[in-house]
Amino acid sequence: MEEIEISSDTTVAATPSVLPAKIERIQLSNLSYDQFFRNFMQPNRAVVVEGIANDWECFRRWIDRSVVPPKLNVPYLKQKLANVPIPVADCGRQHYNSHEKLELPLYDFLQSWENDDTESCRNRYYLKDWHLRSECPGYEFYRTPSLFASDWLNEYLVEQAADDYRFVYIGPKGTWTAFHADVFGSYSWSVNIFGRKRWYLLPPGEEQKLRNSLRNLPFSVTEQTLRDAGVTFFTIDQEAGEAIFVPTGWFHQVTNVEDAISVNHNWFNGCNVATIWSNLRDALADVRREIDDCRDMDNFDEHCQVMLKASFGMDYADFLAIVLYVCDKRLVSLGEDVGQVKQIDGYALGKQHIRFDVVTIRNLLHETIEKGFLDDYPDLRKAAASCLNKILSTSRAL
């Protein structure tokens, strides 16, 4: 297994990020995992990494480069993939703060690309959030880049045969994703395997300048509206073979300025798990305020968790299940005199990375218990305290 490791002097507390004048572009060959960890994940800074997908099967085979201009290799995809229903966004129709969703047979969607259909659906329909990796687990059309392999969210979900946050996007020129920040406040990475995308990226807090009198954020933005609002933002044109790392809390809008295909993950790890936990608590506070007039109802706290999961996509039990699972795997490794910890796609954590993860979880659980964040949920508090005690009993290994 390929090991990912960090330096022995890495601390849990990251150096506060200084906003750069521009988003760096770095060749993959010039960026080690430890450099990415220290310079981008920990300080929560965006970066474009070049030359990241050249050996991926989807990069080599999904595109017919024998024609000019290159185009989607529809016959090959029909040969490799079944005609399954796929999730499509209609970029011509808004539904609340997103685009209207529908399902289409894959081959119908691909046919419009093969025929270069000029009908409205060709220019409006965007295949998004397609869980192709989990739907076809034997089809290794890409490998997670090592920079992004420390991924607690998908580590847990994939190994538990649950959901995942690994997606394929296929969209014609002009399709787009509305202004948003990623689910849970997670990191995301997006690798273009074809075409070009234009990103507007806003550092955390800049989105507040765009709120209207009702405190709502816009559905879409332009460079002009961002300038008019005095927003600090970055415009990035992402080419084929390039990855964009989108840090926690960075709002963004993405447009396919050419027909484009990308592979995307949402994830979190020891660098941003505390922010995910803070976002989850804030979301619960919003739920409590929304139904405060029902506070005297039976099982009020449990009902709040149900609403939290519906609105945020995760509740307290889900979050703790991930954290405790990750911790147990690493503690087992420490008990074996620091063996490797397997990650997705055949990577393994080195001993310093394992220690970093455990110390991060120790600090998170200690604060959670000390500040009473789980006092309304005694079973969850008991599970968190038990895990913390296991960590403390292995303190000599840390």
336 burial (CB, 10 Å; 0-12 / 13-18 / 19+) is exposed
Largest CA distance in the chain: 68
Q: Rounded CA gap, 10 and 6, in Å?
A: 7
Provide the pLDDT for residue 116.
Answer: 60
Task: For residue 376, give the DSSP letter.
Answer: T
Q: Does domain 2-267 have CATH number 3.40.710.10?
A: no
Report pLDDT digits (tens) over 137-192. Answer: 999 999 999 999 999 999 999 999 888 999 999 999 999 999 999 999 999 999 99
For residues 116-139, give the mean pLDDT: 84
Residues constituting the chain: 398
Tokens of 58: 């989807």
Provide the pLDDT for residue 394.
Answer: 81
Contacts (Cβ under 8 Å, ≥6 apart) of 372: none
Question: Do the Cβ atoms of 266 and 153 come closer than 8 Å?
Answer: yes
| 3-state class (DSSP) for residue 374 | coil
| Rg, Å, the chain Cα set | 22
For residues 214-240, give the mean pLDDT: 96
Report pLDDT digits (tens) over 387-397. Answer: 999 999 986 65
For residues 94-112, give the mean pLDDT: 91
Tell me where in the chain the CATH 2.60.120.650 domain(s) lie. 2-267
Q: What is the pTM of this model?
A: 0.94
Q: 254 φ, ψ to 5°?
A: -130, 130
Question: Do the Cβ atoms of 324 and 300 come closer than 8 Å?
Answer: no
The pLDDT of residue 364 is above 90: yes
Report pLDDT digits (tens) over 241-280. Answer: 999 999 999 999 999 999 999 999 999 999 999 999 999 9
The pLDDT of residue 136 is above 80: yes
The pLDDT of residue 199 is above 60: yes
Could you give the percent of the chain with pLDDT greater than 90? 81
User: Which one, of 234, 262, 229, 263, lies nearest residue 247 by Cα?
Assistant: 234
| 3-state class (DSSP) for residue 153 | helix
